[in-house]
A = this chain, B = another copy of it.
Amino acid sequence: MRVLVLGGDGYLGWPTALHLSQCGHQVAVADNFARRQYDFELGVESLVPIETLQTRVETWRDLTGESMDVYVGDLTDADFTYRMLREFRPEAVVHFAEQRAAPYSMIDRKHAVYTQVNNVVGTLNLLYAIGEIDPDIHLVKLGTMGEYGTPEIDIEEGWLEVEHKGRTDRVLYPKRPGSFYHLSKVHDSHNMEFTCRIWGLRATDLNQGVVYGQATPETMLDDRLATRFDYDAVFGTVLNRFVIQAVLGHPLTVYGTGGQRRGIIDIRDTVRCVQLACENPADRGEFRVFNQMTEAKSVQEMAETVERCFPGDVRIDHLDNPRVEREEHYYNVVHTRLLDLGLSPHLLSDTLITSLFDVAKRYAGRVKDEALRPKVNWREQSGPVQET
């Protein structure tokens, strides 16, 4: 199957491209390198050194004989988006190409506007390009579990059967997202559902939990195939940050009580989920949603898991929560559709944590301590003053 991976240079886009290629699919990758640019803006970099996209692709070809077309450009540039689809003629498009950090979107007005325009316009251009060039293309789009927020009722997979005043309907699951980033994905979901309904497009929205881990079987073949590992308070996901803090002998910084529960998923399961979605496409006109997570844990539980597994002393510190979110809440998520397609989850295990400790130790000298401290506050509109 011909699969185009948008955002194919990113933390998850690159391992996904490798995995799909490994599975025998003809893969192309596209990126505008915005993610590398954010590093320059924030003065941080991936803990694990990463090669250029060109070197990555060459390395993969040298190792496996499999080639990947590379498209360098921006989805908000419609000419680029249309040209790429016309040239590569994918059967599936996997869309990771969005600004993906909640704290980045909350820095200030400019970052909020950038995040929503970048994400919404990129996806709109893609929907139009698919509709005009080949409405049979299956769009596999990365959403986030954060779109749902923390409702008092069970979280279903994208749609909800509602009974109200004696009548029933099947509606998009009501959303209560927690940042302008999460909101941008809610906007995308609404736009996508509309184009499935009126143009008969086919789309799968993968509402992904917090991803942890850094290595997949394919990235481990060669150091030059490594994907990024972000530990900073803006782009680092929570469990990855805790691992670095443990290795450095820093306290693990839990925001608030740590009672916040989140869906989580191992990076090896992420790439498998995308493969399953591509190989089992949605029907024409269908907008389907999978909750792409394997278990739910509280932030406190994640910290305690790291504490328990780390061979050394670990302290857990509770910081004032820079986010506005509920810290003690109901959280019960249905996530069976990917299991039904064949996913065998890697649950949060000592093995995984241990392999992450090894990665963190190997590159601990590259850590900038101050990057671990949260500077973006949900309550302030004007953004943090940059420390110099």
Q: Which residues of A contact B (CB under 8 A)?
A: 78, 109, 112-113, 116-117, 120-121, 124-125, 128, 131-132, 151-154, 160, 162-165, 167-169, 171-178, 180, 183, 186-187, 190-191, 193-194, 197-199, 324, 330, 378-379, 381-382
Contacts and interface: CB of A to CB of B under 8 A. Distances in A.
B381 A132 contact: yes
Contacts of A176: 171-172, 193, 197
B198 A174 contact: no
A168 B113 CA distance: 34
A204 B324 CA distance: 22
Copies of this protein chain in the complex: 2
B183 A167 contact: no
A228 to B, nearest CB: 29
Given A78-B113, A199-B379, 4 more contacts: A116-B124, A151-B171, A153-B165, A183-B187
26 contacts: A78-B113, A109-B125, A109-B128, A112-B124, A113-B121, A113-B124, A113-B125, A116-B121, A116-B124, A128-B381, A152-B168, A152-B169, A153-B163, A153-B168, A160-B164, A160-B174, A163-B163, A171-B174, A171-B176, A172-B175, A177-B194, A178-B194, A183-B187, A183-B194, A199-B379, A199-B381
A177 to B, nearest CB: 7
A163 B162 CA distance: 8
A79 to B, nearest CB: 11
Contact of A191 (B165, B183, B191, B194): B183
Nearest to A334: B165
A163 to B, nearest CB: 7
A167 B116 contact: no
Given A124-B116, A324-B198, A177 B190 contact: yes
Nearest to A378: B198
Given A109-B125, A167-B152, A174 B177 contact: no
A36 to B, nearest CB: 25
A124 B111 CA distance: 11
Contacts of A379: 198-199
B165 A154 contact: yes
Contacts of A198: 324, 378-379
A82 to B, nearest CB: 9
Nearest to A197: B324
A176 B191 CA distance: 10
A109 to B, nearest CB: 4
A360 B133 CA distance: 44
Contacts of A169: 151-153
A314 to B, nearest CB: 32
Contacts of A153: 162-165, 167-169
A352 to B, nearest CB: 32
